[in-house]
Chain A
Amino acid sequence: MTREGATSPARTILVADDDPDLLLLMSLRLTNAGYDVSVASDGRQALDRISQSLPQMAVLDVMMPELTGREVLAGLRAAEATQHILIILTSAGFFGDVDDLDLPVRADGYVSKPFGREELQNRVTELFQR
């Protein structure tokens, strides 16, 4: 596991999930990995907070109330200020749902739930190293 945050300033990530337990788990792990983590518990909140604080990355659950992860993704890509933010979609969805390659607006990475201990951190590290 890379501890990016060891040298400041820490990278900023917003994590959005409507399941509070998973939101806690993900923010715990990413915080432990040294990132500066903020959270949102639905899609509308996520879009508002991202637009306001402009984090470097957003980890969005696909199935959220108010706005789905895909809608938040589309909203971010549509605005100039937010279109370069790295996006990871997470999903506890059905087979084939997570990496739907046919969609016009695509995320930078996908992680399906449940994910192993290092899976999310590894994907985040990969994207920051690109």
Chain B
Amino acid sequence: MRAPVHPVNLPSAGGPTAYGSAVPILIVDDNAGKRLALGSMLVPLGHEITEADSGPAALRCLMSRDFAVILMDVRMPVMDGFETADLIRQRRQSELTPIIFISAYGSESMANITAYAAGAADFIFSPVPPAELRAKVTVFANLYLRAERLAADAQDLRNSADRLTLLTDAAPIGIFRTDAENNFVYTNPRWSEITGISFEDAVGRPWAIVSPDRAARFPAVAQVGDGDDHRLMDRFEIFSPGDSLVRVVEWTAEPIEDADGGMLGWVGTLADVSAGAAASAAMEAARDAALAASRMQRDFAATASHELKTPTASVLGFVEEVLDHDSLSEIDRKYLGIAYRSAQRLSRLIDDLLLLGAADVVPAETTYDPTELMPLVRLAMSSFSGAAQDGNVHLAIETGVERAAERLWALADPLRLEQALANLISNALKFTPPGGEVRVAVRGGEDAVQIEVSDTGIGIEESALDDIFNRFYRTRAALDAGVSGFGLGLAIAQRMIEAQRGRLSVTSVVGQGSTFTITLPAAPRLLPA
């Protein structure tokens, strides 16, 4: 830093000195020698000194800039120090600028000096003691510096407030603030867009202008108790004059507290959630429609079932009764037997078609319950023990995996899973020649479980694998072997499994057998191990 040179009429080096930062100081005296003397005394402080040789000159200086302190000679020609000070005080810009009057001790103006100085500034008797002058100037310089810092802080605050306002003005969400009486003190443009109320109309008015019926939900500051969770959130509709729904609005609000926890008002946001609300309403409507359609189909299926099965039951029942008569001729018995078997076939077809219809209906209504697999598998298998014996086929649960399988659960619809499994077992038995084997295995991991039905039957040609799940599809081999059926069992099984969000797959080797695998999502175990 440069050493301060002679300061008269020149800004000093400026910048901080050993005593602090440089401040502007005005020396007013008609005597150039006294100005020089005062300036010299202040050199060690490093301040920036300006000189004026008269009251009017001082006023001119003050027009263009501020000073931290003014050293004012009382006795000057034309306009004395007091007059000059009066004029300085009258200007708003300089009304608070401290003035140190300099006057000869014992002069007649001493009474004036004390009176004047008591109100606004200070005074020093000449000859001026340098240390006293520097001490007084330093006091005012420090005040000036502090005021400057405060002003700078205030400006910073204003700037950041301006920046914040820019942000909130541009925010895509409504933002508001209320005072302690719940009257709006700030709303941003988006808030006005959503509510249709301009900032000018909102400010100073209560929350009720936005939503009269929800005003009660927005407690006045006085009503909010300590320790409550003060954060509020609610939804309301804004209607147009014609009463058609205009907007669904969601708002949040949090109280603003002062340092002592006192409430100053609320600050909050407002969001237009109409689109989301409309979308979820549409989704709900679609789901209701799907359920209604499903229920209608279900009612239709129930009626169809009743109407088809009741006469079938009559036909089968009465033919059975007649077949029971000992008096029947051989030929009548033969023909009635044909009618009976046809009616049975018809009855099975009705069952299958109803099941197939059910598989198409159920997805909307299918329940997914945690289902313990082994009891279900044993139940499904138990109804085939007779058929297996009749066909001389060994029907068994695969050993080795059974133990671990005891703990497996799937997320499934038990009734439909059992139906699908029954169809697979029935199918395997039909296509497995005497002496063969049908094995059911249950396996599982963290995410999925499998039920496998393997047979040592005639197998399926690779070219047919894609078709076997189609309704009424029958393989050439099945037709050639004279295996009875409608080609519906696998179609039903696949639909039932897929309705449970599962998968049915197949592998097969002609002449060696086939394996059908049901894969279902695993369920968390419900029972203690």
Contact = CB atoms under 8 A, between A and B. Distances in A.
Q: How large is the interface on B (under 10, 10 to 19, 20 to 34, 35 or more residues)?
A: 20 to 34
Contacts of B415: 95-96
A115 B324 CA distance: 16
A28 B305 contact: no
B358 A94 contact: yes
A114 B358 contact: no
Interface in A41-65: 63
A93 B316 contact: no
A30 to B, nearest CB: 12
A114 B355 contact: no
Contacts of A96: 358, 415
Q: In terms of DSSP, what is the predominant structure of the interface of chain A?
A: loop
B314 A95 contact: no
A22 B321 contact: no
A25 to B, nearest CB: 4
Contacts of B320: 116-117
B313 A113 contact: yes
Contacts of B196: none
Q: In terms of DSSP, what is the predominant structure of the interface of chain B?
A: helix
Interface in A79-93: 92-93
A34 B310 CA distance: 25
Nearest to B299: A94
Contacts of B354: 94-95
A59 to B, nearest CB: 13
B15 interface: no
A63 B358 CA distance: 19
Given A25-B321, A95-B354, A95-B358, A114 B305 contact: no
Given A19-B314, A113-B310, A114-B312, A94 B302 contact: yes
Interface of A: 19, 21-22, 25, 28-29, 63, 92-97, 113-117
Given A25-B321, A113-B312, 20 more contacts: A22-B310, A22-B314, A25-B314, A25-B317, A63-B306, A92-B308, A92-B313, A94-B298, A94-B301, A95-B305, A95-B354, A95-B415, A96-B358, A97-B305, A113-B310, A113-B313, A114-B309, A114-B312, A114-B313, A117-B324
